[in-house]
Amino acid sequence: MFTKILIANRGEIACRVMRTAQKMGIKTVAVYSDADHGAPHMRQADEAVHIGPPPAAESYLVMEKIINAAVQTGSQAIHPGYGFLSENAQFTQMCKDAGIVFIGPTAQTMQSMGSKSAAKDLMEAAGVPTSPGYQGVDQSLETFRTHSNKIGYPVLLKAVSGGGGKGMRLVTREEDLEEAISSAQREGKASFGDDRLLIEKYIERARHLEVQIFGDTHGNVVHLFERDCSVQRRHQKIIEEAPAPNLPLAVREKLLNAGVAAGRAVDYVGAGTVEFLYDGQDQVYFMEMNTRLQVEHPVSEAITGLDFVEWQLRVAAGENLPLTQEQIHEKGHAFESRLYAENPATNFSPSTGTLTTLRFPNPDETDIRIDSGVEQGQDITPFYDPMIAKIITYAENRKQALGKMRLALRETFVTGLETNTAFLHALSSEKDFIEGHVSTHFIEDHETSLFETVDHQDYPLAAWLLWTLNHGEGNQSEYIQDKTHHQSPWGQLKGWRLNRPNRQVFWIENNNAPTVINLTQKDNLYTITIEENADAQSRRKGADINQPRHFTFSGEMTSTHEASITINHHTQSAFIAPHQKGTRIFINAQHVDILPSNPLSGNSNQAATSGSLNAPMPGNITAILKAPDDTVAAGDTLMVMEAMKMEHAIKAPHNGTVKAFRFDIGDQVKDGDLLVEFEETE
């Protein structure tokens, strides 16, 4: 067995590999970029080596730097994690040439499976069912157009060397094919250094199933059952489970046998995943084989009780697989939710910023597992994947495991940036998902219910007021010039009145609406009068203001960030924490943001609307598709920027004319930079 290994990755997966290696008595070496200096994976390792600037192309993807770090530290093997160099055959060969064991399959296997087109040819020869498509050498537009028409729309363009949804585009009509090809080629080149594409027939409302396999250097190949990864956004998984629900036994047997056959066809060594599409009837189609450990491997670990990283290390050291197929058993059910720094309301666009609050539920060894590589106070940068954590729950049956997932999501609190926590909770609460009726179209088919905001009425406002009163942070204090008399009732801003209940006035932005709150307090009972759309400018102009409404509540802060609020004899718990320029209040996995508002200003704090021509986050410009003075229609793509390993199209918000581009291809842009000067057509 190895005595020291280097993990050529970062974040959650690096920490995950280190836990098992250190449990086995193996020393670990981390690599880190400037952006990851001081990150948890760097501190968890026994040693850490700096490998360059934040961009992955200058650090985590530079093979020579990784090899040199392993040689300098005396590492005997390299674990690639997933992403980055994990499926790079050249890197695998470089490890071998340097006398370092690559913890994964051989370069030859990786080459045969790393190309989706070559993999499909190989699988067809091995008798594994594949979907109709084109995976030829000719990459011309006319060839793609001819084959797409022959296959029949909709078709799916896929980067030949791709994975994780990168370089993948759904095309529903011929008119969109050329732009989709260009976009997929750019993303494939940026993510994998390869702009070649293939075409597959898009099977609508299919299920995405995958088989976990393991092989060793002695010719043994086994499966560790299947996972269902159907629910996706942008062709990337967000919630997975094992085993797959509502799967006929005959289909399951066909699926597992096909997975093992795929592994045997390439003499597979190590952990691998064979991915299939299931048509919902009786047919499964091979899609691709991922020659690495998958993000979702914890759900398979949960139902088998095995440590897949330990298996990887033992196989890489030349040992036999720890168990035979007959010795591998499944028990129970598991779910994994991927907690991302992203905003589902804006097409799941990634979110950057500082994790001012990061709180997970208390883990129970048998019920819940949190795999994370970040911590409170850390920055989520635009340089890497926006995953914050994986939340994994396990129970004896699917219903119980899903119930634990909903509870875990309700007890997960993040502030400082946007996350998909509420969306994941809505998804796991959706009736069809609860019943296991899923497909790759699940989000589109349930868009209304998944994006519906739950109205908790006055509880968030009451929780915010209680938090503010207890923390002495009445937002009106910033408009008081004399703050020296903190010991007097006037200086404390507590609304003190002689022989009368305390009374205070708060000016806030609540759901982007300027709001005035009059609060009267007597003991533990609070009476509130709310005037919405009551900003100072409207008052001066005599504009209509919503009729004031009233309610009374009682409550207490049960901890620094937690409150119990009672309205009309019904009690709710809330979690409150600072968020950007205001405060975020969480109730039952939903959240409400409240911002302070200057009563002397008529400006509101409303966020930029969709269709904005400003950069949604830091990144770099990769394409400009129009020219100054071009007349465009609403929704036309004007330029493309790349950030957080994804392309973001900047589109015309209205019909109009492009006046000027503020940046050129290759330029770095900051969050909020104006990218295009645009004149709307009247």
List the catalytic residues. 292
Compute φ and ψ for 526, nearest 5 degrees.
-120, 130
CA 133 to CA 310: how far, in whole Å? 38
CA 318 to CA 2: how far, in whole Å? 11
**Secondary structure string (H, E, C) spanning 608-677:** CCCCCCECCCCEEEEEECCCCCCEECCCCEEEEEEECCEEEEEECCCCEEEEEECCCCCCEECCCCECEE
Q: Which residues pair with 343 in a beta bridge?
A: 349
3-state DSSP call for residue 324?
A: coil
Please provide the distance, in angstroms rounded to a whole number, between the alpha carbons at the two ends of the chain: 72
Contact of 309 with 80, CB cutoff 8 Å? no
Q: Which two tokens stand for residue 7?
A: 């993990």
Q: Which two tokens stand for residue 388?
A: 């914050």
CA 64 to CA 95: how far, in whole Å? 10
Contact of 361 with 260, CB cutoff 8 Å? no
Q: Which residues pair with 201 in a beta bridge?
A: 155
Spell out a b/e string for 68-90, using b for 16 or more CB atoms within 10 Å of the CB, else e.
ebbeebebbbbbbbbbbbbbbbe
Peptide bond into 628 cis (omega under 30): no
Contacts of 246 (CB under 8 A, 6+ apart): 436, 437
3-state DSSP call for residue 41?
A: helix
Amino acid at 49: V
Cβ neighbours of 191 (radius 10 Å) = 23
C-alpha torsion angle, residues 99, 213, 86, 645 (rounded to 10): 180
Amino acid at 229: C
